[in-house]
Each structure stands twice: as C-alpha cells, then as structure tokens.
Amino acid sequence: MKKLYEIARKNIKNAYAPYSKFRVSAALKLKNGEVYKGVNVENAAYGLCNCAERSALFAAYSNGVRKDDIDSLLVYTDKEHFVSPCGACRQVISELMPEDAKIILANNKGEFQEIINKELLPYGFTSEDL
C-alpha cells in the first residue's frame, strides 16, 4: 500500500485542474504487481472532464488489462480528508474491477481507508439490467 501511495502522491503533479484546483491521482495495481497511473484532467466544457480513477482504468484497459487482472485501486488527494470516487467513477469501477477488489482512499497525511468494490455502489447498474 505504501508503494501505491508514493506512486499516486508523486503523480498528482500531472493532474490538470486549472478550474477546480482539486487535484486527484490514482494508482491501479494489477495482480502481477504492475501499476497504472491516472490523474484528473479538466476541460472548460466541464462535462468533458475525466477523473483520475477512470483515467487509470482506461489506460489499463487500453493496454489489454481486464477485470480479473486487477487487484486494487488507490485514490489520493493532497487534502487532509479522504475523498471517495464520484458516481460516474463508481459505476465504471463496479464494471471494470472485480467485486472483491480493494479501493483504498488516501490523504496527504499518509492515512488510508479501505473498502471493497462491491460496497462502493450498492444497487449499481449492471449488464444484467440491459
């Protein structure tokens, strides 16, 4: 967890958040130990922004990673409090990560809060709903 924390903490400098000034970094750990990074990227047309969690997951999937390859996702902010994924990220996480994958929230004090993916979005929309 400390390694993921350091990766996400250092990567936050790459966040593009000129409007909100709210930077987020994510580190997605695979079962083989490989790590994919993501940051939030804002846009003046706010609907076109992308969160760090989705950036990391989309980068991994773009490189052939699939659900069964994923171990955990650490979400870091340079704030003193914990920040959980937004609703859009929760939906994407619920579909692209295993139900039992760890979601780790980290703050700038080096503290962690851990939850399980299936707890993140109760009653989520799934492929069975289509």
Is 8 within 8 Å of 27 (Cβ atoms)? yes
Residue from 16, 4, 2 nearest 72 by CA: 4
The partner residues of 74 in beta bridges, in order of sequence, read 27, 104
Q: How many C-beta atoms surround the C-beta of residue 33 within 10 A?
A: 8
| 6 belongs to the catalytic site | no
Structure tokens at 44: 């003046």
Angstrom distance (rounded) from CA 40 to CA 51: 4
Choosing from 34, 42, 53, 95, the catalytic residue is 53
* First and final C-alpha spacing in the chain: 36
Q: Residues with catalytic annotation?
A: 53
